[in-house]
Structure 1
Amino acid sequence: MSTGYFGDISKIPFEGPGSTNPLAFRFYDPDELVLGKRMEDHLRFAVCYWHSFVWPGSDPFGGQTFERPWYGPSGAADTMALAKKKADVAFDMFAMLGVPYFTFHDADVRPEGASFSESRDRLNEIADYFEAKMDATGLKLLWGTANLFSHRRYMAGAATNPDPDVFAYAAATVKSCMDVTHRLKGQNYVLWGGREGYETLLNTDIGRELDQMGRFLSMVVDYKHKIGFKGSILIEPKPQEPTKHQYDYDVGTIYGFLKRYGLEGEVKTNIEQGHAILAGHSFEHELALAAALGIFGSIDMNRNDYQSGWDTDQFPNNVPEMALAYYQVLRAGGFTTGGTNFDAKLRRQSLDPQDLLIAHIGGMDCCARGLKAAASMVEEKALSAPLAERYAAWDKPDAARLLDKNADLEAIEADVLARNLDPQPRSGRQEYLENVVNRYV
């Protein structure tokens, strides 16, 4: 039964590009075939519980602006009754949007208990509540994770904390969240560092903290195998904010970390567009690099305001950006356990319940348009053919020998002298390729 929070809306329809109805999809048709696969199965949309149903509309200079029926006096769902009311509204919205997945942190879905055991019991009680709703609706869990950053105990990090008791508390919390994610048949488990970094080197031992983080992650992987969890373990790159420097800065940094601790075959990445921008990269760069390194897993789909140095977590609205992002996803073979999670939030002035629906509808439409443009570029080899042509000389036997393990500088020098080489540069044709992309978007 509907909670009525969103009025008398039942299901967001697909009405096509000509529609002006703000409560209808114009481009996202879940059953449309794209490269022989349903659009829903390509995009694997998920709604993030945290930003949609927990964030109160605060910013660094102002407090709560949203009034929700599941908020208690503190601005959060601080009783189990309110937490269940929040879940009722959340599952209403999931059904209206027709998304196949949702995602959550433990602190999103249950109020903090007076002890670890009470918090764990409350999480399990909410998991029971979720399980019944998931069975009734067919909704699935894309990933679960633990909030190891909001509570003051984590102000100096979780796995990297100088206090071993905090490390232990965080490890126990992750175990309980992994248990729930496994029980709810989650596709992935995400480790979102949040505060795994430092504010100043004056009180930080980087080597010790990295070793703590490596051991923590190794235990997570071991526990995954012990309980038979078949999903992926994901790390979310995040360069800064709130800490001055974070150890999971970007995809390249994470890969180096995984290689150091022998985990590169066990852990992949959950890449957020906004975090890529904060790290000084484009979203497509992070996706392409993760694919090249074999650690591409899933994505959080949001954006930053390009006039702000803050992680503003806005819904996507830039089709060319989405086209280039999904082009990299398609080149990587598409999602397996991963998907497109809307880790995005309303602006603090967007107060109406329907604003939540409209924001997700627009984001889903933007992603759908980007996917279709990307699929056309793949199908017509719009970018792959020029790329193959640019590197074609490397496919010749003489060039391949340059990279052979027996090649050495002396032999290469002798060959250059014998052939009197004087190679001339060739155009990279960047403007041409940019124009090609613009034809599709």
Structure 2
Amino acid sequence: MSSFFSDIDPVRFDPEAKGLAFRHYDPDRMVMGKSLKDHLRFAVAYWHSFAADGSDPFGAGTFGRPWFGDTMDDARRKADAAFEMFAILGQPFFCFHDHDVRPEGGSLAENHKRLNEIADIFEGKMAETGTKLLWGTANLFTHPRFMSGGATNPDPEVFAWSASTVRACMEVTHRLNGENYVLWGGREGYESLLNTDMGQELEHYGRFLSMVVEHKHKIGFKGQILVEPKPQEPSKHQYDFDVATVYGFLKRFGLEDEVKVNVEQGHAILAGHSFEHELATARTLGILGSIDMNRNDYQSGWDTDQFPNNVPEVALAYYEVLRAGGLAPGGTNFDAKLRRQSTDPVDLIAAHVGAMDVCARGLLAAAEMIEDDALEAPRRERYAGWESDEAKQMLGSSLSDVADRAEKDDVNPAPRSGRQEIIENIVNRYL
């Protein structure tokens, strides 16, 4: 086992504790018929917690973890540290890219061999600890071969490499009983339209995703296939811009019943939306699958992937999640990383503990609002006019029939208040 976290005890729920403890996240607390643990379904992101080195565009890495290196021994040390941290947090799930868990080999065959060797280690540790895999995914964006994308690359050999990589990652995810498989198109987009055939790239992207769905059924994988929307960064424009764009793409290729979305807070902000907007859109369209929880720095203007600390924002997000019926088989993955000045092992634990408490507080507030009918009652009142038979009949009529009815009855509606400030004040009472 790793000794990286050796002086840190398992974190417990203790609202009165002075040290490292959960003040709000009581995993066994029952809310709306389920435990907090089952509502939130927390997961650690392998890439940020164990692969990130603290570098940024203007400075070298600062973390210096003992498992950093390019050998399989380093990868094994990383796995030891990861499962040690999962045990300290009582984290039920984790997520990974292939690139996070194994060093790059010299060929596809070597990459797959190394991935399966690490999967052997994961399999044993998962059986021993009870930690589960929320989702796996393939990294089709870091290596230079992916500089112009994976599935949308102009080079068909990169498309083929990507297909092989995704197949290997899907099959490992299936083997480890992962509950979802995610595709994030970090470089599925363009830097310039001057050298891009957008139509051809979208067709290739659609066919690639269809192949993924076909393979899911071929191997008997029962988990969800998820696409993660993001508008930009690293590409100037990514084809999976936001939830609505992804839904249009899925409809075009007949995949709307096969694929859902993994919605990230930071990506929603980059797209010019709020997190709850993206979640409400996914809920309304029936494609909400899972969430990546983090936050952006609103002054920086880029994807900073910080741990969440805004309870009102999180509460409104989980309100939409609860309205959608919950996350399972998705979950709450902390796609968040430490700041490069936070270099100690305890910083990594404390960041997750604080984030888990923020999410618990947010979900508890959201559940209370739902149970009290605090927001839905005024919403129903605002739309009550549509409950009349005459109003419902309009929706099945022609434009001329509706217009004739308005003119015959001399309709002259007066404005009605949306009571926005009153409802905002209601929300604040629960926070």
State the match for 1:432 in structure 2.
Answer: 422
Q: Distance in 2 between matches of 1:413 and 1:66?
A: 67
State the match for 1:6 in structure 2.
Answer: 5
Instruction: State the secondary structure of the residue aligned to 1:259.
Output: helix
Instruction: State the secondary structure of the residue aligned to 1:230.
Output: coil
Is residue 334 of structure 2 the alignment partner of residue 342 of structure 1? Answer: yes
Q: Distance in 2 between matches of 1:416 and 1:71?
A: 71
Is residue 29 of structure 2 the alignment partner of residue 37 of structure 1? Answer: no
* Paired residues for 1:389-428 under 5 Å: 389-404=381-396, 407-428=397-418
Q: Which moved more, 1:410-419 or 1:184-193?
A: 410-419
* Paired residues for 1:11-410 under 5 Å: 11-16=10-15, 18-21=16-19, 23-72=20-69, 78-404=70-396, 407-410=397-400
Q: Distance in 2 between matches of 1:381 and 1:306?
A: 32
Q: Contact (CA 8 Å) 2:264, 2:275: kept in 1 or not?
A: yes
CA shift, 1:35, in A, is 1.2
Q: Which moved more, 1:391-400 or 1:429-438?
A: 391-400
Identity of aligned residues (%): 68
Q: Deviations over 1:318-376 (max 9, x none)?
A: 00001100000000000121000000000000010110000000000000000000000
Q: Deviations over 1:28-70 (max 9, x none)?
A: 0100111121000000000000000001101111111111000
Instruction: State the secondary structure of the residue aligned to 1:87.
Output: helix
CA shift, 1:10, in A, is 3.2
Supply the AA of the counterpart residue of 1:343: D
Supply the AA of the counterpart residue of 1:68: R
Runs of 4+ displaced beyond 4 Å: none
Instruction: State the secondary structure of the residue aligned to 2:411.
Output: coil
Identify unmatched segments of 5+ residues in structure 2.
Answer: none
Q: Distance in 1 between matches of 2:3 and 2:157?
A: 44
State the match for 1:75 in structure 2.
Answer: none
Instruction: State the secondary structure of the residue aligned to 1:292.
Output: helix
Q: Contact (CA 8 Å) 2:8, 2:346: kept in 1 or not?
A: no
CA shift, 1:27, in A, is 0.6
TM-score (norm 1): 0.97
CA shift, 1:383, in A, is 0.4
Q: Distance in 1 between matches of 2:394 and 2:102?
A: 59
CA shift, 1:309, in A, is 0.9
CA shift, 1:20, in A, is 2.6
Instruction: State the secondary structure of the residue aligned to 1:7.
Output: coil
Instruction: State the secondary structure of the residue aligned to 1:95.
Output: helix
Identify unmatched segments of 5+ residues in structure 1.
Answer: 73-77
CA RMSD of aligned residues (A): 0.7
Q: Distance in 1 between matches of 2:161 and 2:387?
A: 53
Supply the AA of the counterpart residue of 1:31: D
TM-score (norm 2): 0.99
Supply the AA of the counterpart residue of 2:86: F
Supply the AA of the counterpart residue of 1:242: P
Q: Distance in 1 between matches of 2:29 and 2:195?
A: 55
Q: Distance in 2 between matches of 1:413 and 1:344?
A: 53
Q: Distance in 2 between matches of 1:399 and 1:207?
A: 42
CA shift, 1:392, in A, is 1.1
Q: Distance in 1 between matches of 2:216 and 2:378?
A: 42
Q: Deviations over 1:295-329 (max 9, x none)?
A: 10000000000001110000000000011000000
Supply the AA of the counterpart residue of 1:9: I
Q: Distance in 1 between matches of 2:222 and 2:390?
A: 44
Q: Distance in 2 between matches of 1:225 and 1:401?
A: 43
Supply the AA of the counterpart residue of 1:26: R
CA shift, 1:158, in A, is 0.4
Q: Distance in 2 between matches of 1:70 and 1:180?
A: 22
Q: Distance in 2 between matches of 1:249 and 1:376?
A: 33
Q: Distance in 2 between matches of 1:46 and 1:138?
A: 13
Q: Distance in 2 between matches of 1:411 and 1:8?
A: 75
Q: Deviations over 1:170-195 (max 9, x none)?
A: 01100000000000000000001110
Supply the AA of the counterpart residue of 2:39: H
Q: Distance in 1 between matches of 2:123 and 2:387?
A: 53
Q: Distance in 2 between matches of 1:243 and 1:284?
A: 24
Q: Deviations over 1:131-163 (max 9, x none)?
A: 000000011000000000000000000000000
Q: Distance in 2 between matches of 1:225 and 1:359?
A: 38
CA shift, 1:11, in A, is 1.0
